[in-house]
């Protein structure tokens, strides 16, 4: 009799997306059978997962366990990683590893090609609100391990949120911002509030709060010749992150309003190990 696996309580998603890829493809067609842009894209899909695994190893070097993480999906020019953190601490360290992956590789790829990357990090509590489903017939699954997908409003919100981040930046979902801001040790993580935006199908049509992440010892590249109307760049250049207490107060007000007035059922992330 096969023992039933325990379902993960939280799924953490981390998206690395190429910015400027469409224009680059059209400008770098070349005359040979192998277009000039192909080398850049092969490097992106090969190197980013390797860098991510290295950053995870570095982030967890003092920890007893390292959570399983890897590429979940490839969607066009986007790599989506997924992990199952068992505690708030693991979620925090995974977020740091992903941030450093984006910031480091953004600089590396720009040295070789006119390309940038951007990141989005979000999480979903696997519960009545978000569900895990297995699709045995999906390519990539096998007899021992079926392909796993996740459905739910918090999963969808991340894909909508990803479009709100700029080049070289990492934008983070409100529930993950709330979780990390509530921890006693920040590990150098800071959040910059850059405004709000209505995301299709998210928060019952109400605006969603937008937060960019930075680290005390590593800021994203804020190129001086980038458009000044980029709100994210403006806030990062100010280097004036929002205080955790103010973040928690804001997000709790938003959640209370949406749950009472719109019956959205928004819940904060919880871990059995905490």
Over residues 194-208, the mean pLDDT reads 95
Structural domains present in the chain: 10-261 (3.30.70.1230)
DSSP 117-137: EEEEEEEEEBTTTBEEEEETT
pLDDT for 233 beyond 90? no
Cβ atoms of 245 and 211 closer than 8 Å: no
For the question of whether the overall pTM of this predicted structure is more than 0.75, the answer is yes
* The predicted structure's pLDDT at residue 142: 57
* Rounded Cα–Cα distance for residues 72 and 159 (Å): 14
pLDDT tens column, 74-107:
999 999 999 999 999 999 999 999 999 999 999 9
* The predicted structure's pLDDT at residue 44: 97
* Rounded Cα–Cα distance for residues 36 and 25 (Å): 8
Q: In whole numbers, what is the pLDDT of the chain averaged over residues?
A: 90
Question: 32 pLDDT band (50/70/90 cuts)?
Answer: low
For tokens 């938003």, what's the residue?
254
* The predicted structure's pLDDT at residue 6: 58
* The predicted structure's pLDDT at residue 2: 46
* The predicted structure's pLDDT at residue 5: 54
């Amino acid at each position: 009799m096969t023992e039933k696996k325990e379902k993960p309580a939280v799924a953490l998603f981390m998206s690395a997306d190429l910015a400027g890829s469409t224009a680059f493809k059209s400008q770098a067609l070349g005359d040979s059978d192998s277009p000039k842009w192909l080398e850049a894209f092969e490097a992106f899909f090969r190197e980013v997962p390797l860098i991510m695994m290295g950053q995870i190893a570095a982030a967890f070097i003092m920890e007893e366990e390292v959570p399983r993480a890897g590429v979940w999906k490839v969607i066009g020019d986007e790599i989506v990683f997924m992990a199952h953190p068992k505690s708030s601490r693991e979620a925090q360290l995974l977020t740091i590893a992903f941030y450093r992956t984006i910031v480091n590789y953004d600089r590396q790829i720009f040295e070789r090609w006119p390309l940038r990357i951007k990141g989005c990090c979000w999480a979903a509590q696997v519960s009545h609100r978000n569900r895990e489903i297995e699709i045995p017939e999906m390519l990539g699954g096998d007899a021992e391990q079926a392909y796993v997908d996740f459905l739910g409003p918090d999963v969808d919100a991340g894909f909508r949120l990803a479009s709100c981040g700029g080049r070289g930046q990492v934008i983070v979902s409100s529930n993950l911002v709330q979780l990390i801001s509530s921890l006693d040790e920040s590990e150098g993580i800071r959040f910059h509030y850059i405004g709000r935006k209505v995301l299709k199908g998210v928060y019952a049509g109400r605006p969603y709060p937008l937060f960019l992440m930075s680290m005390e010892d590593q800021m994203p590249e804020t190129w001086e010749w980038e458009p000044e109307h980029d709100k994210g760049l403006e806030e990062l250049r100010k280097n004036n992150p929002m205080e955790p207490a103010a973040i928690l107060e804001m997000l709790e007000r938003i959640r209370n309003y949406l749950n009472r007035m719109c019956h959205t059922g928004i819940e904060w992330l919880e871990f059995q190990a905490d």
